[in-house]
Amino acid sequence: MTPTQTFSPARFEFDRDLIERLDGSGPRYTSYPTADRFTPAFDEGQYLHWLRQRSIGANSKPISLYVHVPFCNTVCYYCGCNKIITKDTSRADTYLDYLEKEIALVSDALGHREKVIQLHFGGGTPTFLSDAQLTRLMEMLRARFDFLPEGEFSIEIDPRKVGRETVFHLASLGFNRMSVGVQDFEPAVQQAVNRIQSEEETLTVIQAARDAGFRSVSVDLIYGLPLQTTASVARTVDKVIAMSPDRIALYNYAHLPTVFMPQRRINEADLPTPQVKLDILQNSVEQLSAAGYVFIGMDHFAKPDDDLTRALEQGRLQRNFQGYSTHADCDMIGLGVSSIGKVGPCYAQSQKDIDLYYQALDAGHLPVMRGLTLDSDDILRRSVIQALMCRFALSTEAIEEVFNINFAEYFAEELPRLRALQQEGLLTFDGDFLMVEPKGRFLIRNIAMIFDRHLRERETRARYSKTI
C-alpha cells in the first residue's frame, strides 16, 4: 500500500508534552516569503509589469479579489488589523471614490475583463459600509470584472452592526459566504477587550445567512484573551457549537502591545498563563472534535461536508492571506489601503497610511508601498511549504520533477533538522515521501519553518506569534 493510501490528513493527535516542549514563535505562512520580507525596492513599475503579463497569457486562471475596508465604529483592544476608528460614515464615501480610481488603474493594467472566482471583503469592519455603499462598491467591481456564478464571495461581519435586512442585501449583491466575529461570549471578557456582543445578535445574523441562502457561515473565536479560563471558553465553544456554523476558526491571541497600540489597554495581569492557554486549546479541540468538526489545520475547523474539508481530503487545500482556502492557487489582487496581492511571482502591498494611499491615487499611481519578486529558490520553497501546510505531505519526486533538482542535495542543510523532528514523532521521511504524523499536525509551522531560508539567513524585526 502506498503512503498516500494509508495517510489521512484529517487525523491529528494533541501531544501535550511535545507541544509544550517545541512551542515557540514563527510565521503563519499565509505567504512565502512572509510579508516582513517585502521591500520598498519593489515599486509600482514592477507590479504593473506582472499585472500586464496576465494580458499576454502568462496566467489564464480566474483571479481572486481582496478588498480592505479599514473603518470600525469602535476599537477592540485585542485587534492587530490595519484600521481607522470613526463613526463618520461619510469617510467611507471618500474611500470608495479612491477605491474606484484604484480599481480602474488595476483593470487598465490587466487589459481585459478578468474572471473572478473568489472575493473577500476584510478590514476593519466591511459592514461599516451602509447598504448603499456596499452596493456602490460591488457595482464598481462588476463594472470591471466578471464574477463567475460558481465563485466564492465572502465578507467579514460584525453582528453588533448588522441586522437581518443587511444580510439579505448582501445575498442580493452576490455574497455567499460569511465570517462572523465572536471571539468570546463571556461578559467579563467582552468588557475587558471592549467588544460587547450578545448571543442573540450573533444568532440572528447566522440564521439570516441561512435563510438568505449563504453557502457557508464561519465563526471566529480567540483564546488567550484577558480573564478567560478553561471553563469560561468551554461555555463559549458550547454556545458556538449549538449555533452550528459550517466553519470555526480558533485563533491564538498574540499580545504585542509594542506593535499594536490598542493592546496597551489590556491588563497583562488578566491574561491567562501559557499553561492555561494550552489547557483552553486542548479542551476546545476536544469539544469541537466531539461535535463532529474536522481539524483542517493550525486554527481552522469545518464540518465534514464543508468545501474546506473536501479540499483537505482531496489534496486541493490551499493557503493565502485570508488563511485556508480552496482557490489560493490563483492570482489575488489586493485593493484598498494596506491590502496585499499575489500576481505571478510577485507580492505587492499597498500603502498602510490612508493619506499616502490617497496621494498616490491622486497622482494617478497605484499605491504600492512594498513588495517582492520571488526568485527560483523562493518559488521552490513556497511549493514545499504550501504542501506541508495544506496537504501535510510532500512527494520529493514531484518536487524534483517540477523544479529539476535533487531534493537531498538541494535541501542538505535542512535534512538533519527534519530527521530530528522525525525522532520526535512529528513526521516520517523515507527520502521519497514526507508525511506529517497526527502529533505533528498542531506543530506544522515548526515543520514548515525548516524550509524557510529567509528565516534562517536574514534577521527580521517582525514579532511572530506563538506557533501554538
What residue numbers does the annotated binding site for [4Fe-4S] cluster cover? 72, 76, 79
Tell me 464's DSSP state: P
CB atoms within 10 A of CB 64: 26
Nearest to 68 by CA among 262, 354, 328: 354
Burial (CB count <10 Å: 0-12, 13-18, 19+), residue 247? buried
Strands (E), 285-432: 294-297, 300-302, 318-320, 323-325, 332-335, 340-343, 346-350, 368-373, 393-395, 427-429
CB environment 374-385: b (16+ within 10 A), e (fewer): beeebebbbbbb
Nearest to 218 by CA among 88, 100, 322: 322
Work out the angle between the directed axes of helices 164-173 and 199-211 (0-180°, nearest 10).
40
Tell me 117's DSSP state: E
Amino acid in the structure at residue 251 = Y
Distance CA 38, CA 41 (A): 9
Instruction: Give the annotated binding-site residues.
Output: 66, 72, 76, 78-80, 123-125, 156, 183, 195, 220, 254, 340
Residue with C-alpha cell 493510501?
5
Q: What is the secondary structure of 62-115 as a DSSP string? A: -EEEEEEE-EESS--TT--S--EE---THHHHHHHHHHHHHHHHHHHHH-S--E
C-alpha angle 427/386/396, rounded to 5°? 55
Helices (H) and strands (E) in the chain, counts: 18, 19
**Kind plus residue range of the DSSP H or E element containing 154:** strand 146-157
Q: What is the secondary structure of 300-312 as a DSSP string? A: EEE-TTSHHHHHH
Nearest to 225 by CA among 260, 201, 190, 258: 190
Is the distance from CB of 334 to CB of 68 less than 8 angstroms?
A: yes
Instruction: Give the annotated binding-site residues for S-adenosyl-L-methionine.
Output: 66, 78-80, 123-125, 156, 183, 195, 220, 254, 340
Distance CA 463, CA 449 (A): 15
